[in-house]
């Protein structure tokens, strides 16, 4: 595959990447990012051997059923470069160059984002964590404000809220009674328009590349994106990674840390919620609903036992919420 890909690129470079200079010493190497073993795709780096500067990323699905997911992600990148509402953010995502086939397999070519390969990826996040968190939150706020719409009808309310709760309660009977009040809250809120946004779906450090400047952020790997999704989930996922992964906290301790205890993270999240006009009542639903969704996804893809940690966190948060008047009523530190 490496030889075929190199031959293909050399023969069609001016057609595929007319805005990029053709390297005379093109080299293609297979690249498997950390944590990507379970994803059914091959990733190749294309770069100039003399300058050692990567130029392109080539992606090929290793299973036919994953091709539509990769095409959807590629089309999302296209929208950044073609849509008037997203063009201001286009420079922060890979540029899509080519969609076609090679040896009968789908081929997707996109621009290389500096910092994608280790060890550069985690440098700024490691030494300037809070600056990076603020940058990631600020980028996400812009993205969601530009794609913000409102729920359209009872069917969408059911898809985004009620069906998730019922599915989780059916798979885990111990959640049934605990989730009934949450379901009632969702039904009461469904009378009013609820914001929905484009979501990334996997907004974690492995897909966010930080540069030296505050606004130098690149967002890669859009294969889990959705175009009509609930807000706040992307930011909450990144915040949980930040607190649980970086600080080595349990899931529930990490949740309390980012929503209640850590002033700098809390400020960035408050700013996002305020900009998105997410009221206290909706916020109170979105937090447990995030875990309801994660529990369902883990149960489907891995198994019931793997969802145990998220179930414990959900139950602990519901208890914590019932004992407090809500995150926004907490006094600022």
What token pair was written down for 32? 């498997």
| Full pLDDT tens readout for the chain, 333 residues | 888 898 888 888 888 888 777 777 788 888 765 445 467 888 998 887 777 777 899 999 988 999 999 999 999 999 999 999 999 999 999 999 999 999 999 999 999 886 665 444 555 667 788 888 999 999 999 999 999 998 767 778 888 888 889 989 999 998 999 999 998 888 887 777 889 999 999 999 889 988 777 778 899 999 999 999 999 999 999 999 989 988 889 999 999 999 989 999 999 999 999 999 998 888 889 999 999 999 998 988 888 899 999 999 999 999 988 887 544 444 444
Q: Which fold is adopted by the domain 2-111? A: Phosphorylase Kinase; domain 1 (3.30.200)
Q: Where are the domains of the chain?
A: 2-111, 120-329
60, 101 contact by CB (below 8 A): no
User: 41, 182, 34, 197: which is closest to 117 by C-alpha?
Assistant: 34
- Secondary structure of residue 289 in the 3-state scheme: helix
Question: Alpha helix (H) ranges present in 53-202?
Answer: 67-82, 123-127, 129-147, 153-157, 163-171, 176-189
Predicted TM-score (pTM) of this structure? 0.88
- Secondary structure of residue 27 in the 3-state scheme: strand
* Superfamily of domain 120-329 in the CATH hierarchy: Aminoglycoside phosphotransferase (APH), C-terminal lobe (3.90.1200.10)
- In Å, what is the CA distance from 252 to each residue of 182, 314, 319? 18, 8, 11
- Rounded Cα distance between 142 and 148, Å, is 10
Per residue in 135-183, pLDDT (tens digit) is 999 999 999 999 999 876 777 888 888 888 998 999 999 899 999 999 8
Per residue in 95-133, pLDDT (tens digit) is 999 999 999 999 999 998 866 654 445 556 677 888 889
Burial code (b: 16+ CB inside 10 Å, e: under 16) for 149-158 equals: eebeeeeebe
Burial code (b: 16+ CB inside 10 Å, e: under 16) for 29-66 equals: eebebeeeeebebbbbbbbbeeeeebbbbbbbbeeeeb
């Amino acid at each position: 595959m490496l030889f075929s890909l190199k031959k293909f690129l050399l023969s069609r470079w001016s057609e595929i990447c007319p805005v990029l200079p053709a390297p005379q010493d093109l080299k293609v190497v297979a690249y498997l990012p950390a944590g990507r073993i379970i994803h059914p795709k091959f990733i190749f780096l294309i770069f100039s051997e003399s300058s050692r500067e990567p130029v392109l990323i080539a992606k090929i699905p290793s299973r036919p059923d994953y091709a539509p997911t990769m095409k959807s992600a590629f089309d999302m990148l296209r929208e950044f470069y073609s849509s008037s509402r997203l063009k201001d953010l286009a420079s922060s995502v890979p540029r899509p160059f080519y969609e076609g086939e090679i040896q009968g397999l789908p081929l997707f070519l996109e621009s290389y984002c500096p910092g994608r390969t280790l060890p550069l990826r985690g440098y700024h996040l490691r030494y300037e964590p809070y600056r990076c968190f603020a940058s990631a939150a600020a980028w996400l706020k812009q993205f969601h404000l530009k794609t913000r719409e409102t729920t359209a009808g009872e069917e969408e309310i059911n898809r985004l809220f009620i069906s998730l709760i019922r599915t989780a309660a059916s798979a885990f009977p111990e959640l049934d009674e605990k989730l009934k009040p949450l379901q009632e809250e969702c039904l009461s809120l469904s009378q009013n328009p609820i914001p929905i946004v484009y979501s990334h779906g996997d907004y974690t450090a492995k897909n966010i590349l930080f540069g030296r400047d505050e606004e130098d952020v690149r967002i890669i790997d859009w294969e889990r994106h959705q175009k009509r999704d609930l807000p706040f989930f992307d930011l909450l996922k990144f915040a949980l990674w930040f607190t649980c992964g970086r600080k080595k906290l349990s899931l529930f301790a990490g949740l309390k840390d980012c929503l209640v205890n850590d002033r700098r993270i809390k400020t960035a999240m408050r700013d996002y919620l305020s900009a998105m006009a997410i009221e206290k009542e909706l916020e109170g639903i979105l937090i447990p609903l995030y875990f309801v969704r994660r529990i369902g996804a883990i149960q489907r893809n891995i198994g019931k036992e793997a969802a145990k940690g998220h179930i414990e966190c959900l139950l602990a948060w519901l208890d914590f919420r019932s004992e407090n008047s809500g995150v926004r009523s907490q006094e600022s530190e």
